[in-house]
Every structure is written in C-alpha cells, then in structure tokens.
C-alpha cells in the first residue's frame, strides 16, 4: 500500500517558533552583533603589528635589524590586503544595519568567514617569525648567537675569499631550536610550510636542543650552513650537472650509477664543505650521526638523497687524504671498518661498490678542487684552505677551551673542531668545554 503526499509537512512547533524568532529578532541585538563583527576583524588585523628590534632583546643575541625588517616586509605584503578586506566587511555591515534583509545579512556572514580565514593564514606567518625571534630572549639566546657566529664566519670567509664575484648576502642564516632527532635547514627563497608555502626570506638553521648540549657534535651546523652556501653562490643546479657528466666521461660509470651520485650531490657537498670549514671533527661528528645499527647504516636506498651512511664516512676520509691528512684518514677508516666489518652486495649494489673510490674521487674533485665562475674562477679549496696548519689552530683552540682561557684567536668555524679536540682527549670535563665554548663565541 502506498500513499502520496500532496503537500509538505507542517513544521513542528519548536521549528516554527525558531523561524518566527528569526523574523522578529530584536533589532538592537542584531545591530550590535553586526557592528561587533567589523570591529573584531579590524582589531584582529591590527594585532598583526610590525615587530621592533627592541622587543626581542638588546644584547648581541638579539636578531639583527635587517632580519626583523625582512620579516616585517614579508608580513606587510599580506597585511595591507587584509585591511582592505576587513573594510569590505565593515561596508557590508553598514549596509546590513540600515536594512537587514536576508541577502545583506548573508553577505556579511560570507565576507566575515572569508576574511577571517585569510587573517588566520597571515597570523600563522606572523606567529612563526615571532616564535623564531623570541627564542633569543630565552636561555637559548647565548647558544643561538654562537651558532649564528659560526654560520656568519663560514659565509664571510667564502664570500671574502671570492673577491668581487658576489657580495656577501645581507641576510645571513638564523638559527632556531626545535625538538627532534636531527638538524635541518630551509634555504633562502624556498617555499616552506611554516610560512604557508611562501618563499623563505632568509636561511633558517634548525638545531635540536640536545645538540646544543654536545658542542663537540655540532658539526651538523657546518653541514646545514653549507647547504645554504651551495644554493646562495649558485651551485645548486650546476654541481649535479657537472658531476653527472664527469662521472660518465672520465669515470666510465653507467648513467644509472652516475645519476645516483648526482642525486646525492646536496648531502655530499654539505659534508665536504663542513670538513673544509671545520676540520676532521666534522667527520667524527658525522660518524656520531650515521653510526647506527648495521641495517640502518649499510643498507643502500635506491631513492635516497643521502649517500648510504656507510659510504659517507669513506667519502670524507678520501677528502682528508687529498688535504694531506692521510694518517688521520687511515685511523678513521680502520675504526669505521671495525664497526661494520661485513658489507656485501646484498647491502650495496655491486656496481656502486666496485666503482666507489673512482667515483668518490671525481666527486670530491668536482666539488672542492674545480674552479667555478660562481666562485670568481676559483675553487673551494683555493678560497678556504685547510691542512696541517689549520689542524694546529684547532688543537690550540681545544687546549685553550680546556684550560678555560679565551680562544679568541680561533676562527668561529674552527670552534666546534676545537671542542671535539678537547673532548676526544679528555682535556676537561664536558661541562667545562661546553661553558667555555659558548663564552668564547659570546665575546665576539
């Protein structure tokens, strides 16, 4: 049996009462609510104020005026549009208050919702910069300043060594503490999630807080800074191209193997630059990071951007040999092989293993010893010299750190290696080395 409804059902009594209430809402209450929406949005936009240098401290650990102004300009690009959009809500509110028809009220709601979402979008960017800078007023301030000094020293030595080829960037890397297992960096101009996928205005170097406790293991700072240097000097795209070509032409490698080395270029370049900037302590620090279980260290990943961890150490010791530090390279190689005595073709493809030394030597030559127009026709090795003389500077710095004396004569980029020297030889307690490290860099 079926039935046909000839008319819609009548609303229930509660629904009817709500509908009637909507039609006869008190004009005063609705008017006040409409007025409040425009005020709330305009004040919300105004809260995304420009930063001042003074609010993040006045000491040397405070962010530079240039970095604060860069953040302000970044936010201003969006804030001006927000003000206009919020005024659009205000205009809709004024019309609706004169005659609150259904269409006009709906326009207010739609504009309010759209503008509110846009404000939250920009507020996320504002909050990111605020959190970045306000850390400088915390107990991390002195330590972040030390990291910044090391980064600045790497930039200065490379750019000054180039001569007139390129001016040193005004906005140098800024360090930031975060939780997590490993450090990371965001390069200049790269869209990042924390900036709502907008281009990053200056390099950011993120350091896990526990790494700041072990200053002798901070060579990851040199590694992350080196990523930014490769990009800033214009070798981010060129190195993998040159590398791929040389490995095929001069190394006789297959395209498949050459493409793997080319894909590894960013991480290898950062490792090698870290070694040149900071000395062999960077290799030991790398071993701290990649020295894990056998499965995690020797197993090849066909799509990884990092070289197989087992191979990374040997790439670095090959550079040590070329820099005249063969004895130290032998010691590191021997220790590494003791940790991982058995590596087979099941772990690393045979073609990669068989051509490893030939390929790695070409990679090192391409990255460190070949001249580039981007480097004013010079090579990295010519601009940033490292050898036995620099090793002695690091050793002297390590002894001064252990004695609690001011190692002001030790370049900032050598300070991590100096701390490693003192720590490896147990010249002082870890706490003393750490305190003297930050105190020395804090005086510069």
| pLDDT single digits (tens) 207-223 | 999 999 999 999 999 99
- Considering the domain architecture, whether residues 157 and 75 belong to the same structural domain is answered as no
Residue 129, C-beta contacts closer than 8 angstroms, at least 6 positions apart:
51, 71, 74, 75
* pLDDT of amino acid 25: 52
- Considering the domain architecture, whether residues 125 and 173 belong to the same structural domain is answered as no
- Considering the domain architecture, whether residues 146 and 133 belong to the same structural domain is answered as no
Considering the domain boundaries, does residue 165 fall inside one? yes
* Structural domain count, the chain: 2
- Considering the domain architecture, whether residues 101 and 154 belong to the same structural domain is answered as no
- Considering the domain architecture, whether residues 69 and 42 belong to the same structural domain is answered as yes
Residue with tokens 């147990």: 426
Give this prediction's pTM.
0.89
- Considering the domain architecture, whether residues 131 and 178 belong to the same structural domain is answered as no
Closest CA to 205 of 181, 189, 227, 190: 227
- Considering the domain architecture, whether residues 43 and 124 belong to the same structural domain is answered as yes
Phi, psi (rounded to 5 degrees) for 373: -60, -35
Phi, psi (rounded to 5 degrees) for 395: -60, -45
The first and second tokens of residue 310, run together, are 């087992």
**55: CATH:** 1.20.120
The first and second tokens of residue 285, run together, are 């620090």
* pLDDT of amino acid 1: 44
- Considering the domain architecture, whether residues 64 and 128 belong to the same structural domain is answered as yes
Report d(CA 201, CA 199) in Å as an integer: 6
Beta bridge partners of 208: 178
- Considering the domain architecture, whether residues 133 and 198 belong to the same structural domain is answered as no
* pLDDT of amino acid 205: 97
Range(s) of the domain holding residue 96: 26-137
Phi, psi (rounded to 5 degrees) for 169: -55, 140
- Considering the domain architecture, whether residues 35 and 117 belong to the same structural domain is answered as yes
* pLDDT of amino acid 391: 96
Judge contact between 212 and 218, C-beta under 8 A.
yes
* pLDDT of amino acid 137: 93
- The number of helices, as runs of H, and strands, as runs of E, in the chain is 20, 5
Considering the domain boundaries, does residue 399 fall inside one? no
Positions in the chain short of pLDDT 50: 1-8, 10, 14-21
| Beta-carbon count within 10 A of 334 CB | 9
Give 264's DSSP letter: T
């Amino acid at each position: 049996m079926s039935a046909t409804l000839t008319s819609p059902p009548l609303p229930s009594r509660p629904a009817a009462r709500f509908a009637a209430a909507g039609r006869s809402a008190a004009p005063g209450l609705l008017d006040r609510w409409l007025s409040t929406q425009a005020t709330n949005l305009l004040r919300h936009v105004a809260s995304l104020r420009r930063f001042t240098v003074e609010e993040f401290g006045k000491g040397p650990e405070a962010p530079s005026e240039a970095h604060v102004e860069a953040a302000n300009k970044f936010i201003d690009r969006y804030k001006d549009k927000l003000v206009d959009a919020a005024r659009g809500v205000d205009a809709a509110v004024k019309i609706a208050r004169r005659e609150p028809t259904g269409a006009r009220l709906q326009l207010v709601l739609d504009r309010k919702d759209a503008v509110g979402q846009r404000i939250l979008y920009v507020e996320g960017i504002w909050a990111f910069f605020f959190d970045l800078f306000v850390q400088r007023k915390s107990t991390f301030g002195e330590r972040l300043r030390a990291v910044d000094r090391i980064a600045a020293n790497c930039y200065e030595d490379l750019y000054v060594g180039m001569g007139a080829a390129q001016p040193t960037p005004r906005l140098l890397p800024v360090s930031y503490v975060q939780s997590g297992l490993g450090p990371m960096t965001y390069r200049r101009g790269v869209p990042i999630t924390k900036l709502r996928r907008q281009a990053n205005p200056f390099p950011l170097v993120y350091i896990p807080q526990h790494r700041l406790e072990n200053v002798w293991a901070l060579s990851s700072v040199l590694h992350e800074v080196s990523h930014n240097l490769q990009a800033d000097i214009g070798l981010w795209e060129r190195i993998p191209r040159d590398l791929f070509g040389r490995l095929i032409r001069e190394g006789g490698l297959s395209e498949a193997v050459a493409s793997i080395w080319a894909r590894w270029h960013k991480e290898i370049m950062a490792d090698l630059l870290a070694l040149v900037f900071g000395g062999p302590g960077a290799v030991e620090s790398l071993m701290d990071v990649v020295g894990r279980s056998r499965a995690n260290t020797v197993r090849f990943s066909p799509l990884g951007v990092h070289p197989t961890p087992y191979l990374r150490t040997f790439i670095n010791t090959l550079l040590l040999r070329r820099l005249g530090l063969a004895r130290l390279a032998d010691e590191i190689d021997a220790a590494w092989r003791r940790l991982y005595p058995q590596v087979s073709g099941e772990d690393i493809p045979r073609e990669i293993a068989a051509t490893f030394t030939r390929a790695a030597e070409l990679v090192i030559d391409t990255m460190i010893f070949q001249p580039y127009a981007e480097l004013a026709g010079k090579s990295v090795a010519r601009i940033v010299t490292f050898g036995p003389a620099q090793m002695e500077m690091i050793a002297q710095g390590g002894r001064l750190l252990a004695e609690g004396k001011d190692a002001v004569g030790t370049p900032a980029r050598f300070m991590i290696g100096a701390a490693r020297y003192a720590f490896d030889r147990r010249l002082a307690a870890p706490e003393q080395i750490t305190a003297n490290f930050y105190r020395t860099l804090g005086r510069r």
